[in-house]
Amino acid sequence: MSKEYVVAVVGATGAVGEEMMKTLEKNKFPVKELIPLASKRSEGKTVLFKGKKIPVKVLNEDSFKGIDIALFSAGGSISKQYAPFAIEEGTIVIDNTSAFRYEKDIPLVVPEVNAEDIKQHKGIIANPNCSTIQMVVALAPIHREFTIKRILVSTYQSVSGAGRKAIFSLQNEAKQHLNHEEVEQGSLSHQIAFNLIPHIDVFMDNGYTKEEMKMDWETKKILHSDDIAVSATCVRVPVFRAHSEAVNVETEKPITAAKVKELLSKAPLVVLQDDPHENLYPMPIKAENKNEVFVGRIRQDESIKNGINMWVVSDNLLKGAAFNAVQIAEKLIEFKLV
Ligand code: A2P
């Protein structure tokens, strides 16, 4: 019989944690035992895995004894605090937060793009930011063929990227607004219902937000190229699930929309949805609960010599988080690293 693994999900009661468990089940990941971990607030709660209710355990320093793989998604500070205890126990950590992404020795992996980097791991593999993952899945084939010089990207990010509280905020604020009640602002920095917030994560000294800088730092690391210039504007939008991105790329070599369409029609995990005459283009509502990265509106940027515009949509909780993390765990098995 092939080997089965004890898998912990840290942050199992959260929006991403729930999807991690669903993805483990859906992908038939060989789980011997699932250990859901969360904070003291979740004591007494259960999660559903393979039709069974499993009691949530409170995360502590001794949580990792006997655990082969731990998927972390409880915030960066929790990863920083508890991942070292996991590593001490020989547990392999797949971390969905930004806690370790920029450390030189820690691989940052999107399996369709740089799976081989997993082989360099020393206990932790970082899962990139949701917006970066879907963008590089679409751009890696273009970079290999045409060498990307510069990326300009604007994101339209759903509230689920900010966790369960933000999902409830959009629901409550929308209800109150439509009922002509006074809107009580939820967990985001402003009302999100019927609004757009050009502010995700903290502001940095250069005027960008950290979310925007993540797209720069992480794209360079995943594509192994410090020469790619990236400028991002990240915006929270009143959509529950799936992030959308308007992406403009400038390449070294001459590029055409037709060639990009041909390349992306064969690219792993990419689904081309590009028939404007039939009103066919990717939309967040159609990408919900799907693992793929949907690309459309591919057209020449007529304002520069070698440029392309496109529209990229994917479910931020799946390819942007849980699905990518489980794919990394599957690669660990494939590469015989666990
Ligand atoms: P809990 O539900 O017990 O607060 P989301 O991103 O959807 O907000 O989810 C965050 C996840 O991280 C939840 O599962 C939450 O558990 C978990 N979490 C937050 N703080 C801690 C902590 N101090 N220890 C363990 N898990 C935590």
Residue closest to 16 by CA, chosen among 171, 129, 92, 107: 129
Residue 109 — φ and ψ, nearest 5°? -125, 135
Residue closest to 321 by CA, chosen among 122, 89, 132, 167: 132
Residue 280 — φ and ψ, nearest 5°? -100, 115
Q: How do 148-157 and 243-251 pair as beta strands?
A: antiparallel
CB-CB contact of 323 with 26 (8 Å) = no
pLDDT of residue 1 exceeding 90, the answer is no
Residue closest to 337 by CA, chosen among 3, 10, 31: 3
Q: Which CATH number fits the domain 5-128+321-334, given the four candidates 3.10.20.340, 3.40.50.720, 3.30.1380.10, 3.30.70.930? A: 3.40.50.720
Mean pLDDT of the chain: 98
Atom of ligand 1 nearest to the CA of 17: 14
What global pTM score does this model have?
0.97
Question: Which residue in 121, 199, 243, 277 is the catalytic one?
Answer: 243
Give the C-alpha separation, 299 to 280, whole Å: 14
pLDDT of residue 27 exceeding 70, the answer is yes
128 ligand 1 Cβ < 6 A: no
Q: What is the separation, in whole angstroms, between the first and last Cα of the chain? A: 16
327 contacts: CB under 8 Å, gap ≥ 6: 111
Could you tell me the residue ranges of all domains in the chain?
5-128+321-334, 132-316
Question: Which residue in 130, 177, 199, 277 is the catalytic one?
Answer: 130
Tens-place pLDDT, residues 189-208: 999 999 999 999 999 999 99
Length of the chain: 338
CB-CB contact of 328 with 71 (8 Å) = no
Closest residue by Cα to atom 24, ligand 1, is: 39
| CATH number attached to the domain at 132-316 | 3.30.360.10
Q: Distance between alpha carbon 165 and the CA centroid of its chain, in Å?
A: 18
Tens-place pLDDT, residues 289-329: 999 999 999 999 999 999 999 999 999 999 999 999 999 99
277 catalytic residue (yes or no): no
